[in-house]
């Protein structure tokens, strides 16, 4: 299963990278897009597994406009956890992902986290849930990925715009890990 997931992730990354190479956005766009798409896929897979384990009807995953109830709160929790992990330096994946983004562009971790969170919330909420194939986890993931690629391609041009500012962000290590950064409005 892990090999299958890595292969599919690589296919998704290659599609995104090809779009970047053809249209000229920077490496930071690829890194941010990769993080967002992997996070969306991970959240979707996890939700599918919870539905399967608890016997919830899989068609509930296909109801339009359910992003907020299915993923909104979980996303806020996840990104607040990422924020806390960046302060405490206790999650190697989060640390490596955001350190790499920071090293490429020089923007603060808080700036990058805010941009990634906004893009995640926008992209994930735009998935056409009525087109998800819920017959099995592999089909579900493939249908999510099929919809994410065009969304990711569309957002690539916005990454450059979002990064086009002078970043005067504070040092994340000075922040309070018990004070959440994000809220669901």
What confidence score (pLDDT) does residue 59 get? Answer: 93
Residues 6 or more apart from 54 whose CB is under 8 A from it?
A: none
pLDDT digits (tens, 9 = 90+) for 21-80: 554 447 888 889 899 999 999 999 999 999 999 999 999 999 988 888 889 999 999 999
165 pLDDT above the threshold of 90: no
Percent of the chain with pLDDT over 90: 61
155 pLDDT above the threshold of 60: yes
3-class secondary-structure state, position 180: coil
> Residue 152 in contact with residue 122, Cβ under 8 Å?
no
State which H helix or E strand residue 35 sits in. helix 27-54
pLDDT band at residue 160 using 50, 70 and 90 as cut-offs: low
For the question of whether the overall pTM of this predicted structure is more than 0.75, the answer is yes
> Residue 39 in contact with residue 123, Cβ under 8 Å?
no
């Amino acid at each position: 299963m892990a090999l299958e997931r890595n292969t599919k992730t690589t296919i998704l990354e290659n599609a995104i990278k090809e779009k970047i190479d053809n249209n000229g956005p920077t490496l930071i766009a690829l890194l941010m897009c990769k993080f967002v798409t992997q996070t969306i896929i991970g959240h979707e897979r996890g939700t599918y597994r919870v539905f399967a384990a608890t016997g919830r009807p899989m068609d509930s995953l296909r109801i339009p406009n359910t992003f907020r109830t299915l993923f909104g709160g979980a996303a806020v929790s996840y990104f607040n956890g990422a924020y806390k992990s960046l302060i405490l330096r206790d999650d190697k994946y989060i640390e490596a992902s955001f350190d790499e983004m920071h090293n490429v562009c020089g923007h603060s971790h808080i700036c990058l986290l805010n941009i990634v969170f906004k893009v995640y919330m926008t992209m994930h909420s735009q998935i056409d849930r009525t087109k998800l194939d819920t017959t099995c986890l592999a089909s579900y993931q493939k249908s999510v990925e099929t919809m994410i690629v065009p969304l990711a391609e569309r957002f690539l041009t916005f990454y450059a715009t979002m990064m086009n500012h002078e970043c005067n962000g504070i040092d994340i290590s000075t922040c309070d890990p018990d004070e959440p950064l994000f809220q669901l409005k």
